[in-house]
Amino acid sequence: MKDLFSLITLLLFFSTILFSQQQETIDWPSLADSPWPAFRGDMQCTGRSQFVGPKTANVIWRADLPLGIVDGPAIGFDDILYFGTNSVDTSNHNKFYAYYPSGEPYWIYETDSFVPNWTNPIVTSDSTVYMGSNHGYLYAFTLDGQLKWKLQVEDGHRFNFAISKDGNIYVAAGTSKVVSPEGEIILEKLILDIITDFSFSPSGDTVYYHTGLRGGNIKPSYLNAADLNLNLLWRYPFYESNYGAPLVDNQNNIYVFGADSSNPYDVGLFCLKDDGSVKWKYIAQSIAPQYAAPTLDKNGNCIFYAYNFGDRIISVNYNGDVNWEYLLDNQTDQMDHGLVCDADGTIYCGPTWPGYFYAISNEGELLWKLLIEEYEFDASPAIGSDGTLYIGLNGSTLLSDHKQNLIAIKDDPTLIVSDDPLPAEYNLHQNYPNPFNPQTVIKYQIPNEGTVSLKVYDVLGKELKTLVNEFQSQGTYNVKFDASNLPSGIYIYRLTAGKYSESKKMMLIK
């Protein structure tokens, strides 16, 4: 009986620990009930989506946004995408955008300034879309793009903003402001050298933000906690810190990058308790890039970018112990943005310089990567309600002819990854059934990761359909081909992967 009591006590102890680590989306009445209403997904800046993102690099469309995208998109009701621009517009009319999830424009609003619109959009429960311009104005739009009001909140500079539970807008600027949903300034507070977005505690009664300048030899940095009137409650000193928004978990622990004030070489990710004391810290070789921020999965694992003998994505558990590390391929794959994880814990991140965009499993294994080519990725990706991943790219702020830089990625339901043992050689199998009407399955194996294409041609060599065109890991794949719109006849399918290429014939009989 005593042993049984001890076992029950032990089980209750571990279940309590496990429960305390679990993370859920905080109810936030002022935010839209939509897939990604704010830049980091929520007002705790967790970067965690409630939806499952793509497990393959299947690009379903690309759109040309000539002025580039630096922050966003946010996703509102009906999965409408909202975002601003990266580049100056010589016509003196920069733009805000709303796009359908199909990649077509819903509405476009022209400002009366040439400066870009970097500030993160936010969609609220009262059907308002807030956007900000680098010339210091906050805009409020209806869902269909009608201007409700605009207000100057900064003197010609970029600013950031967040939404409190009661719908007030907290503007992070030299003179920070609290603005009502009607566009009236209800509070102003001078906060010197504020360098990040505001994040809110789960209860909504505390805001967190960084102050200071990068380079501790100039001025020290602080993580600050304040009440809703922006009165300081406490602050934790750093030698220096970056500009990434503080991440807040369900238990009101705060995760930030910084260098220890007592030892500037002690740099990495800090986890602070809600009283400003250090819970744990992960030490890396160098401080994170300017806008890097971690993400937190539903099990309480914190995932972040760090340079530690190479560019890495690192996962630590709730107590700061390392789960896994993934070494990125290229020295240019530095991640200067907030990471995002989906409902399964898959991590999505992209490079500051031209390189690869990555999807990494919750066990630290590469699922896929997509070549970004000549652009860079400076924002957080967003996941729609159907699992589509949206990423926006940009080049120079002077570049006004960006092309194919808004990308939508979604799993193809016709592509099935097999659980067969990993193959040692390339192999393209005969489709089955064959002959077929109108559907068949094409199986192939690849022994190495790389870009793979599978295309269907007629007997004259005319390309009819691309079934696969993406980066894939080593494995066995089954692809469904539907020929409902083709006449009876002989067709050719060709697999290309690296230097390997093979073709086979198949017969459609209707």
Q: What is the pLDDT of residue 2?
A: 52
Residue 420 is predicted with a pLDDT of 66
| pTM of the full structure | 0.82
| pLDDT for res 286 | 78
Residue corresponding to tokens 């991590």: 347
Q: In residues, how long is the chain?
A: 510
Instruction: Say how many C-beta atoms besides its own lie within 10 A of residue 3's C-beta.
Output: 7
Q: What is the pLDDT of residue 333?
A: 66
- On the CB side of 96, how many CA atoms lie within 13 Å of its CA? 26
Go through the domains of the chain in sequence order and give each one's CATH number: 59-409 (2.130.10.10), 427-508 (2.60.40.1930)
Q: Which two tokens stand for residue 242?
A: 């970056």
CB within 8 A of 452, min separation 6: which ones?
Answer: 446, 468, 469, 470, 471, 472, 495, 496, 497
Which residues of the chain fall short of a pLDDT of 70? Answer: 1-20, 214-219, 330-333, 415-420
- Tokens encoding 36: 């990604």
pLDDT for 336: 85
Q: Please give the pLDDT value at position 373.
A: 77
- Map 311-367 to HEC letters: EEEEEECCCCCEEEEEECCCCCCCCCCECEECCCCCEEECCCCCCEEEEECCCCCEE
pLDDT in the model for residue 278: 96
Contacts of 463 (CB under 8 A, 6+ apart): 455, 456, 457
Q: What pLDDT is attached to residue 201?
A: 98
**Residue bearing tokens 């936030």:** 28
Phi first, then psi: what are they for 6, rounded to 5°? -65, -40
Place of tokens 């990706």: 381
